[in-house]
Amino acid sequence: MKAAMKTVRTIDELRAAVRAWRREDPDAAIGLVPTMGALHEGHLSLVGHALSHARLVIATIFVNPTQFGPGEDLASYPRDEARDAAMLEEAGCDLLFAPAPGEVYPPGFATEVRVRGLTDVLCGAHRQGHFDGVTQVVSKLLNQAQADVAVFGEKDWQQLAVIRRMTRDLDIPTRILGAPTQREPDGLAMSSRNRYLDAEQRQVAANLNRVLAAAGESAAAGADPREAEASAVSALIAAGFDRVDYVEIRDGETLEQVSVPDGRSRIFGAARLGRARLIDNMALPRPGATA
């Protein structure tokens, strides 16, 4: 039986809890699941993934101001800590770290963490400074928790690639694990921002996954990747999206553009619908595999 989940709000308390665990059982692996709250089944699957690699799991809830650009939804981002905490405890989480912004960024804070290259494309090209905010906060959370593993969702594939690069480059010893995208029954990737959609937009939203999958299949079957991308953009607009930021077929590791798809290629898309900006990505079927 697990002890009741505890909530801590300061870095000192977090470190004290981790120290106590390490003292009690030096062999028990510790997992970390960073989130911005407004939790859904996708987040809980990360806790489950962490529990399959670690005996003790810390989740963090912090709506990180530095990863939101001007005009983005920082002020209106959904927050419901009591509900989140109940869901995390139910999922088997041991400790919740929910710091206030001033705890994470005290007066005088001046350090930036920037991963070049991987952050210049896809969402990085459309959300100025977003990944700098992500790497800033994730490097801090990894240092604060000193966990053995940390789990991030493949839904945010570029974020996962950037965090893997950062931990390698900065010799951060926590092992970074990716966990598969959790979807609604119609294929829409679960996201805290899906709650911005009204009923009609929610119907439109499911086309993102469908259109990307079809474009990926056509490129894997030999269509020119640039043509497959362009048709997908048109199909998304025709389906009712307000704007498409990008649809691109790129290498899953380097994120470089792909001319001839191979086993590492993925298709990535981001599109706007009302107040929501939705993203998704998936592996292309293996070249030659029949759809």
Give the SS3 label for residue 253.
coil
Instruction: Output the smallest distance, CB 41 to ligand AMP, in A.
Output: 8
Instruction: Output the smallest distance, CB 157 to ligand AMP, in A.
Output: 8
In eight-state DSSP terms, residue 20 is H
Partnered with residue 257 across adjacent β-strands are: 250
Give the SS3 label for residue 235.
helix
Minimum CB distance to ligand AMP smaller for 153 or for 269: 153
- Distance between alpha carbon 113 and the CA centroid of its chain, in Å? 18
Residue 150 binding ligand AMP, by CB under 6 A: no
Residue 194 binding ligand AMP, by CB under 6 A: no
Q: Is 279 exposed, middle or buried (0-12, 13-18, 19+ CB in 10 A)?
A: buried
Residue 43 bears catalytic tag: yes
- Distance between alpha carbon 85 and the CA centroid of its chain, in Å? 19
Instruction: Output the smallest distance, CB 16 to ligand AMP, in A.
Output: 25
SS percent in the chain: helix, strand, coil, step 5: 40, 20, 40
Instruction: Output the smallest distance, CB 59 to ligand AMP, in A.
Output: 9
Q: Is 7 exposed, middle or buried (0-12, 13-18, 19+ CB in 10 A)?
A: middle
Task: Give dist(CA 34, CA 36) in Å, integer.
Answer: 7
Of the ranges 108-116, 181-189, 211-219, 223-231, which one interacts with ligand AMP (CB under 6 A)?
A: 181-189
Assess contact for 156 and 277: CB atoms under 8 A: no
Residue 46 binding ligand AMP, by CB under 6 A: yes
Residue 281 binding ligand AMP, by CB under 6 A: no
Residue 152 binding ligand AMP, by CB under 6 A: yes
Q: Is 146 exposed, middle or buried (0-12, 13-18, 19+ CB in 10 A)?
A: middle
Assess contact for 59 and 150: CB atoms under 8 A: no
Binding map of ligand AMP across residues 96-135, x = CB under 6 A, - = no contact: ----------------------------------------
Residue 35 binding ligand AMP, by CB under 6 A: yes
Among candidate residues 40, 43, 49, 126, the one labeled active-site is 43
Minimum CB distance to ligand AMP smaller for 181 or for 218: 181
Residue 182 binding ligand AMP, by CB under 6 A: yes
Pick from 9, 68, 103, 98: which is nearest to 193 by CA?
Answer: 68
Residue from 14, 30, 36, 255 in contact with ligand AMP (CB under 6 A): 36
Residue from 5, 30, 31, 42 in contact with ligand AMP (CB under 6 A): 42
Assess contact for 228 and 258: CB atoms under 8 A: no
Residue 192 binding ligand AMP, by CB under 6 A: yes
Of the ranges 4-12, 37-45, 166-174, 212-220, which one interacts with ligand AMP (CB under 6 A)?
A: 37-45
Residue 45 binding ligand AMP, by CB under 6 A: yes
Total of residues contacting ligand AMP (CB under 6 A): 17
Catalytic residues: 43
Give me the residues that bind ligand AMP (CB under 6 A), please: 35-36, 42-43, 45-46, 152-153, 155-156, 179, 181-182, 189-192
